[in-house]
Amino acid sequence: MRDLRDWIALLEREGELLRVSTEVDPHLEITEITDRVVKAGGPALLFENPKSEHPLLINQFGTERRMCLAFDAPSLDAVGSKLGDVLEMQPPQGLVQKVKGLQKLKSIADSLPKTVSRGACQEVVLTGDEVDLDLLPIQRCWPEDPAPFVTLPAVITRDPRPGTRNVGMYRMQKIDARSTFMHWQLHKDGRADWLAADGRIELAVALGLDPVTAYSASAPLPKHIDELMLAGFLKGSPVELVKAKTVDLEVPADAEIVLEGVIERDELGLEGPFGDHTGYYTPAEPFPVFRVTAMTMRRDAIYPSIVVGKPPQEDAWLGKATERIFLPAIRMTVPEIVDYDLPVAGAFHNCVIVSIRKAFPGHARKVMHAIWGLGMLSLSKSVVVVDEHVDVHDYEQVFFYVTANVDPRRDVVLTEGPLDHLDHAPTLQFVGGKIGIDATAKGPAEGTREWPEEIVMSAEIRELVDRRWAEYGLPEPSVGAMGKNGAGRSGLRQLLRR
């Protein structure tokens, strides 16, 4: 998919998009409509009359099926495997392997962004006084938000030292027709670029991209890796870039809208409060002011938006995509990890459930500390470790082991470390307590008395009952009626789970 237009066309063909021609207000009304549709597992919405010339697209990422359509993959795990295959590349042996190896190398070559001379994103160019953010249907999301916020931007910066590009998704509170705040949090790469540039930095913000490139802006890559490379790799074709008009950066040629501009040294203001994905209003804090020097657009540009708030919301699926896509990369450093789950209700930084192939005493603690040392996962407040046979996505199963297998004195680790910028619970911002729960089976090597055997039916009897099921005159056990947890899975529960 080249751009947002291809994506909208695909969504429409797949019955995954509804057009709303009724006039709606981007001031709160769109939030309430979208919240109801997201929670019902409903379609993407293209609001054609959001009190603006420009339509507003929302809920493009709101279901697992749409995420898979976005990545053109049968499952999010399949997207992760594609990345894992390249990470685990070995020197090829034999012709077949060599050919496969070449295909993988080609996919790496395709991931490099490509510069082109013209781009649709510059059909309209407004500079200086012509810049007018009021042209866009920027949403005011929640009642206590002081202003409208751009919520789905891809913010492009360059680290002045190595010259590497970064793309991050950082919300932008509108200040006036030509300026916004830039809410890059303490641990984020865009902020690091700004600090490295000694406080004055040029930036460009792309709005309205193909879904893979938009997702990539939210991906927690190591700082020196360009998110546009990940986008090109996952798309299987390079992201095309054009030179920006007023700053020394390149911008996605097919974007709907681009805002170019600059942050001047020491120009800060109080950003927020904002009804955030934590489910609370994050309080006002100082953030830099982004002065827009140029606004370029397609002639009939579509403005993309997302609402975050008390989970589950649309962003749950961006988070789940990251969870799945990064599993193989995490296994590269911590190979004993079998699987992990970041519950949506845990707002992603509050809880990690991880299953491991336990091989030695204290192994669960080793993995807790690995997670607390791993990229953005390091900000996790709680880590629950279970054995490899436990399904980390089945929270009732996990709860069973957390209560059954844990001696709180022995198996709970309390420690301290860095916490998410937005976590309101710790006494100090940014740093505080962490909890690890070792819910694995313990062995004599860990000093426990003999661990009992878990109850499992024998294979012969299971096969016998499988064979005879029809004879009993009982309904076929389906996930809906008699699922693993003995409970139905409504759309909402499924979203809360994964």
Ligand X SMILES: Cc1cc2nc3c(=O)[nH]c(=O)nc-3n(C[C@H](O)[C@H](O)[C@H](O)COP(=O)(O)O)c2cc1C
Among the residue ranges 47-55, 100-108, 184-192, 432-440, the one whose residues contact ligand X (CB under 6 A): 184-192
Q: What's the sign of the alpha-carbon dihedral 212, 216, 219, 220?
A: positive
Active site residue 198: no
Closest to ligand X by CB, 314 vs 438, is 314
- Does 171 contact ligand X by CB under 6 A? yes
Element (H, E) at 446: none
Q: What is the spatial distance between Cα 445 and Cα 177, in angstroms, rounded to a whole number?
A: 66
188 binds ligand X (CB under 6 A): yes
Q: What's the closest the beta carbon of residue 151 comes to ligand X, in angstroms?
A: 6
Query: Least CB distance from residue 321 to Mn ion, whole Å?
Result: 16
Query: Is-contact 33 42, C-beta < 8 A?
Result: no
Note whether 189 binds Mn ion by CB under 5 A.
Answer: yes
3-state secondary structure 7-76: HHHHHHHCCCEEEECCCCCCECHHHHHHHHHHHCCCCEEEECCCCCCCCEEECCCCCHHHHHHHHCCCCH
Which is nearer to Mn ion, 164 or 485 (by Cβ)? Answer: 164
3-state secondary structure of 265: coil
According to CB under 6 A, which one of 136, 259, 263, 318 is a site residue for ligand X?
A: 318
Q: Which of residues 50, 62, 190, 309 is near ligand X by CB under 6 A?
A: 190
* Cross-strand partners of 205: 155, 259
State in angstroms the smallest separation of the CB of 166 from ligand X: 5
Pick left, alpha or beta for residue 15 (phi over 0 → left; psi -120 to 50 → alpha; otherwise beta): left
306 is in the binding site of which of ligand X, Mn ion, none (Cβ under 5 to 8 A by kind)?
A: ligand X
Report the C-alpha gap between 399 and 39 in whole angstroms. Answer: 25
- Comparing every residue's Cβ against ligand X, the nearest one is 168
**Nearest Cα residue to 492 out of 61, 47, 35:** 35
Question: Binding to Mn ion by residue 218, rule CB under 5 A?
Answer: no
The span from the CA of 297 to the CA of 169, in Å, is: 19
Distance (Å) of CA 117 to CA 71, 158, 240, 474: 27, 20, 10, 67
- Mark the segment that binds ligand X (CB under 6 A) among 83-91, 166-174, 280-288, 365-373: 166-174
- Residue with smallest beta-carbon separation from Mn ion: 189
Q: Provide the 3-class DSSP secondary structure of residue 271.
A: strand
- Starting at the earlier edge strand, list the strands of the sheet with 382-387: 337-341, 351-356, 382-387, 431-438, 412-418
Asked if 184 interacts with ligand X (CB under 6 A), we say yes
Under the binding rule (CB under 5 A), the answer on residue 423 touching Mn ion is no
Q: Is 308 in the site for ligand X (CB under 6 A)?
A: yes
189 is an interface residue for ligand X by CB under 6 A? yes
170 binds ligand X (CB under 6 A): yes
| Closest distance to ligand X from the beta carbon of 130 (Å) | 27
Which CB atom, from 142 or from 184, has the smaller least distance to ligand X?
184
Query: Which one of 130-138, 180-188, 196-204, 426-434 is the stretch in contact with ligand X (CB under 6 A)?
Result: 180-188
Residues 6+ apart with CB under 8 A from 86: 104, 107, 108, 233
Q: How far is the CB of 378 from ligand X (least distance, A)?
A: 12
Catalytic one of 276, 315, 339, 411 = 276
User: Between 11 and 230, whose beta carbon lies closer to ligand X?
Assistant: 230
Q: Which is nearer to ligand X, 171 or 324 (CB)?
A: 171
Among 166, 278, 293, 380, the residue binding ligand X under the rule CB under 6 A is: 166
Query: Does residue 315 interact with ligand X by CB under 6 A?
Result: yes
Least separation in angstroms between CB 189 and ligand X: 3
Judged by CB under 6 A, the residue of 52, 81, 185, 378 near ligand X is: 185
Residues 261-300, one symbol each (x = binds ligand X by CB under 6 A, - = not), give ----------------------------------------
Q: Please say which residue, 204 or 306, places its beta carbon nearer to ligand X.
A: 306
Q: Which helix (H) or strand (E) holds 370?
A: helix 363-371
Distance between CA atoms of 336 and 388, rounded to whole angstroms? 9
Give every CB contact of residue 446 below 8 A, 6+ residues apart in sequence.
Answer: 361, 362
Calpha distance 188→317 (Å, rounded): 21
- DSSP characters over 131-195: --GGGS-PBB-STT-SS-EE-S-EEEEE-TTT--EEEE---EEEEETTEEE----TT-HHHHHHH
Q: How far is the CB of 262 from ligand X (least distance, A)?
A: 19
Q: Count of residues binding ligand X (CB under 6 A)? A: 19
| Dihedral, 458, 463, 469, 475 alpha carbons, nearest 10 | 70
Angle, CA of 245, 250 and 256, to the nearest 5°? 75
Among all chains, which residue has been given the structure tokens 């970064």? 166
Identify which of residues 122 and 190 has a Cβ nearer to ligand X in the complex: 190
Window of 56-64, 158-166, 319-327, 403-411 that interacts with Mn ion by CB under 5 A: 158-166
* Binder of Mn ion out of 139, 151, 166, 282 (CB under 5 A): 166
Q: With respect to ligand X, which residue has the nearer C-beta, 282 or 355?
A: 282
- Any contact of residue 220 with ligand X (CB under 6 A)? yes
Q: What whole-number distance in Å separates Cα of residue 157 and Cα of residue 250?
A: 10
What residues make contact with Mn ion under the rule CB under 5 A?
Answer: 166, 189, 221
Query: Which residues would be at the binding site for ligand X (CB under 6 A)?
Result: 151, 166, 168-171, 183-185, 188-190, 218-220, 306, 308, 315, 318
**Catalytic residues, which ones?**
276
